């Protein structure tokens, strides 16, 4: 960690407990990636990108890889699952988990580490379930607890699920984007506790029920419910394509991993912003824990504000704290638009390089999903140690969900010490995953380019700016991982 | 995966491995004074005990008066935290999940071998004070 002048100034501010919280819940026991490994990751991403370009340039796969995958909805193991009523069990489990999160928050212990709802929601649902969705597809569409609740209401109240009016097309995916922003803000700044989490989840449940009443079930869960939109995007990367609305064997399809990203394109600019926010919010989460970020506000900006707030940092802290929060919120809100500006600039260069007649907007939408692998690996590298250290606690928590010293299933004492993988292992996995996600994105973007632009040459040329963009995103992700985390 | 892609995959793997070997820093940390014993785990009772430093903290009125905000050690070293608080409190080291009850005005010592690498906060529960952070580099 490099000492920097004036660091002394920031110390009183950083020592106050509220400022020292890294994440709303759970401690991340990561050390910054060493510099040489950061350089390795960036160089590896660049080198392998050119191998991908060379592969496509040497001889393009003429058979437009419209491999539709294989329908396996009638396979024996799928039938076996159906016979065991797995879906019904999952539905019950999902609705039960939501109710448990609310009930345990209202009636259980106030300590976030002994009440199950913090771990169940922040770790198991938000992180683990996302990674499972990337593997097993969009099971969430069938077991979404809020959708199940809405359907329950629909049984008692005819015409409830149809909605009062049709969904205004102008709204597009704005509701999901706004809710996603609110969600990330709560995750980073609200310091939820079991009780407040229960209140937030109750409010979100009411919001969903009201929205279904207003615009109807189909429209709301397509455009509004944030986890439905988020997991729908994540599921495009899964090798299993689950579509419960279809009949027979087509309900479940096996395809190449990540191939689903090329089966459709972003339907609207707000969806592009949603995808970019997946990238930028994780980057922001990483960035706002680092020393350079804290330095920006608490040293650089504070230095300029001194004439107004005074020389004593302890006295200035209470005045500056709300400003710091407003500033961080503003940066978070601006981040997807900043990313969109950079993204569209590179799309414009791409269009120019390929001499395409398609508009920048159209191309921007077509290439949007190819960024999702980078977003997924960002997320995994950032949180997987948290999944190990805090997620493993779920075993003991199920036996004592309210934190009242129960032992319902006899597992209350299991895995009490957190699992902390060796820092060297963590570094190598992080860099390896980031390079992997980068390569997948570059590869997919090239396939998409072959569809958008006439001829191999134009496609290859168009990909040089895109490649630079992805190297930028990847290097930025690596840089964040390599930064010293702010002191204490 | 088609056959034509294989040489490219092989090329990529060779490049990645070559780059890794080229960039990897030489030798694992010559800084350690401990001679490379065959079993560095359970080093507490090793024939040559690693140098042991005591990190002293003074806490009064819910604030840290003295002591480093960050401690940097290598895995396997013995860490000794000595905390003196003006009030009764509980010291908690995250990750290792070690707790120590502190009596007012009396120095309390938490001594342990840093087996896990990573970044661990330690705090005083009653004062709700993040006292410092322990960074353990891998061996």
Domain-by-domain residue ranges, chain B? 50-137
Handedness of CA B11, B15, B21, B24 (dihedral sign): negative
Q: Sort strands B129-137 and B118-124 into parallel, antiparallel or unpaired.
A: antiparallel
Q: Would residue A99 be called left, alpha or beta, if left means φ above 0 and alpha means ψ between -120 and 50 degrees?
A: alpha
Name the DSSP class of A486.
Answer: P
A115 pLDDT band, cuts 50/70/90, is very high
Dist CA A449 CA A415 (whole Å) = 49
Total CB pairs under 8 A between chain A and B: 101
Q: Return the structure tokens found at A228.
A: 């439905």
Residue A23, min C-alpha distance to chain B (Å): 13
Element (H, E) at A242: strand A240-242
Q: Return the structure tokens found at A452.
A: 């958008």
Predicted pLDDT at B53: 83
Chain B residues in contact with A41 by the CB 8 A cut-off are: none
Rg over CA atoms, chain B:
22
Residues A387-426: pLDDT tens digits?
Answer: 998 999 999 999 999 999 899 998 888 887 778 899 999 9
Average pLDDT over residues A67-93: 90
Alpha helix (H) ranges present in A85-173?
Answer: 86-107, 116-118, 130-136, 140-143, 145-156
Residue A308 CA to chain centroid, in angstroms? 39
Supply the pTM of this predicted model.
Answer: 0.89
Calculate the alpha carbon distances from A318 to A16, A18, A321 in Å: 10, 11, 5
A454 pLDDT band, cuts 50/70/90, is confident
**Fold for domain B50-137?**
Immunoglobulin-like (2.60.40)
Chain B residues in contact with A17 by the CB 8 A cut-off are: 128-130
Closest by Cβ to A44, choosing from B19, B120, B131: B19
Q: Return the structure tokens found at A317.
A: 């802290």
Instruction: Mark yes or no for CB contact A40/B23 under 8 Å.
Output: yes
Instruction: Mark yes or no for CB contact B131/A30 under 8 Å.
Output: no
Count of other CB atoms within 10 angstroms of residue B4: 11
Residue B92: what are its φ and ψ, rounded to 5°? Answer: -130, 125
Q: Do residues B76 and B41 make contact, with C-beta atoms less than 8 angstroms apart? A: yes
Chain A residues in contact with B96 by the CB 8 A cut-off are: 417
Average pLDDT over residues A136-143: 95
Chain B residues in contact with A424 by the CB 8 A cut-off are: 117, 138
Dist CA A277 CA A415 (whole Å) = 35
pLDDT of residue A8 exceeding 90, the answer is no
Closest by Cβ to A424, choosing from B5, B16, B138: B138
A19 pLDDT band, cuts 50/70/90, is very low
What residues contact A40, with CB distance under 8 A and at least 6 apart? A431, B19, B20, B23
A40 touches chain B (CB under 8 A): yes
Q: With CA atoms as reference, report the closest residue to A26 among A416, A485, A385, A414.
A: A385
ipTM over 0.95: no
CA atoms within 13 A on the CB side of A400: 19
Residues A304-317: pLDDT tens digits?
Answer: 877 877 777 777 78
Instruction: Mark yes or no for CB contact B20/A40 under 8 Å.
Output: yes
pLDDT of residue A347 exceeding 90, the answer is yes
Chain A residues in contact with B8 by the CB 8 A cut-off are: 51-52, 54-55
């Amino acid at each position: 960690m490099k000492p920097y002048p004036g660091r002394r100034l920031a110390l009183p501010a950083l020592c106050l407990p509220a400022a020292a919280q890294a994440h709303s819940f759970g401690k991340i026991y990561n050390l910054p990636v060493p510099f040489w490994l950061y350089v390795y990751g960036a160089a590896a991403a660049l080198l392998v990108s050119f191998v991908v370009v060379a592969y496509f340039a040497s001889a393009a796969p003429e058979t437009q890889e419209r491999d539709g995958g294989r329908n396996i909805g009638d396979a024996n193991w799928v039938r076996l699952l159906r016979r065991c009523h797995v879906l019904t069990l999952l539905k019950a489990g999902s609705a039960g988990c939501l109710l448990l999160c609310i009930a345990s928050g209202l009636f259980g212990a106030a300590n976030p580490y002994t009440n199950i709802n913090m771990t169940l929601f922040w770790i198991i649902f938000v992180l683990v379930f996302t990674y499972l969705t990337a593997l097993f597809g969009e099971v969430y569409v069938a077991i979404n607890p809020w959708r199940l609740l809405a359907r329950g209401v629909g049984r008692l109240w005819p015409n409830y699920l149809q909605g009062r009016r049709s969904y205004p097309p102008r709204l597009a995916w704005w509701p999901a984007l706004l809710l996603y922003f609110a969600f990330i803000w709560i995750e980073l700044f609200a310091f939820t506790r079991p009780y407040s989490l229960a209140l937030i989840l109750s409010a979100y449940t009411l919001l969903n029920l009201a929205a279904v009443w207003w615009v109807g079930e189909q429209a709301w869960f397509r455009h509004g419910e944030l986890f439905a939109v988020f997991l729908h995007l994540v599921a495009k990367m899964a090798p299993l394509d689950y579509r419960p609305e279809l009949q027979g064997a087509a309900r479940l399809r096996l395809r190449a991993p990540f191939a689903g990203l090329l089966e459709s394109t972003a339907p609207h600019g707000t969806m592009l912003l949603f995808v970019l926010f997946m990238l930028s919010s994780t980057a922001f989460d990483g960035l706002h824990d680092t020393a350079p970020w804290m330095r920006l506000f608490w040293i650089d900006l504070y230095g300029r504000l001194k004439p107004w707030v005074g020389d004593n940092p302890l006295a200035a802290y209470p005045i500056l704290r709300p400003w710091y929060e407003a500033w961080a919120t503003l940066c978070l809100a601006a981040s997807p638009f900043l990313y969109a500006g950079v993204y569209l600039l590179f799309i414009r260069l791409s269009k120019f390089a390929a001499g395409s007649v398609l508009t920048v907007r159209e191309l921007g939408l077509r290439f949007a999903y190819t960024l999702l692998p980078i977003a997924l690996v960002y997320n995994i590298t950032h949180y997987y140690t948290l999944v190990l250290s805090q997620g493993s606690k779920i075993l003991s928590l199920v036996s004592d969900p309210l934190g009242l010293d129960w032992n319902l299933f006899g597992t209350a004492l299991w895995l009490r010490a957190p699992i902390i993988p060796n820092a060297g292992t963590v570094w190598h996995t992080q860099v390896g995953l980031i390079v992997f996600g980068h390569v997948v994105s570059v590869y997919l973007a090239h396939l998409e380019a072959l569809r958008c632009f006439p001829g191999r040459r134009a496609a290859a040329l168009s990909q040089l700016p895109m490649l630079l963009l992805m190297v930028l995103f990847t290097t930025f992700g690596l840089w964040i991982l390599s930064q010293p985390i702010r002191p204490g | 995966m088609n056959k034509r892609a294989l040489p490219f995959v092989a090329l990529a793997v060779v490049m990645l491995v070559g780059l890794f070997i080229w960039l990897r820093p030489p030798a694992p940390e010559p800084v350690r004074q401990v001679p490379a014993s065959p079993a560095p785990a359970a080093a507490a009772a090793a024939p040559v005990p690693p140098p042991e430093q005591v990190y002293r903290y003074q806490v009064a009125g819910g604030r840290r008066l003295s002591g480093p905000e960050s401690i940097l050690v290598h895995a396997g070293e013995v860490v000794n935290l000595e905390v003196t608080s003006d009030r009764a409190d509980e010291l908690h080291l995250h990750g290792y999940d070690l707790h120590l009850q502190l009596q007012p005005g009396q120095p309390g010592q938490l001594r342990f071998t840093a087996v896990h690498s990573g970044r661990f906060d330690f705090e005083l529960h009653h004062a709700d004070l993040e006292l410092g952070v322990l960074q353990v580099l891998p061996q």
